[in-house]
Amino acid sequence: MGTIQVVVDADASPNHPPVAKAKAVTVPAGPMCTANASVDDGSFDADNDPLTFVQSPAGPYALGTTSPILLTVTDPKGAFSQATGSVTVVHESGPGITDLTLSPAGP
């Protein structure tokens, strides 16, 4: 009869899923009236595994508010967590004024 060998890894610990945390953010628009932004609010993994972040829909985001944005955080072992946030893109500068002529006020 054959021998069966069982190897047990005493250092193996269970994988903990990451914790996704998302927030609402407001960002200024760029030259094309869009902006990229992250809704991540300190997502983490208790095992200190490196994480992959995916936002859906992905940026760049148009003027106004895009909501909800689903943040999915995944660890290398395939465990994941999700949270929702939003992105508001604002136009911070007004139109430029050129060739302005001032006249004195009348009596």
Q: In which band, very low, low, confident or very high, does the pLDDT at 43 lie, cut at 50, 70 and 90?
A: very high
pLDDT digits (tens, 9 = 90+) for 25-35: 999 999 999 99
Tell me which of 4 and 77 has the higher pLDDT.
77
pTM (2 d.p.): 0.76
Beta pairing, strands 52-56 & 64-74: antiparallel
How many other CB atoms sit within 10 Å of the CB of residue 63? Answer: 13
Cis preceding-peptide flag for 18 (omega within 30 of 0): no
What is the model's pLDDT at position 100? 66
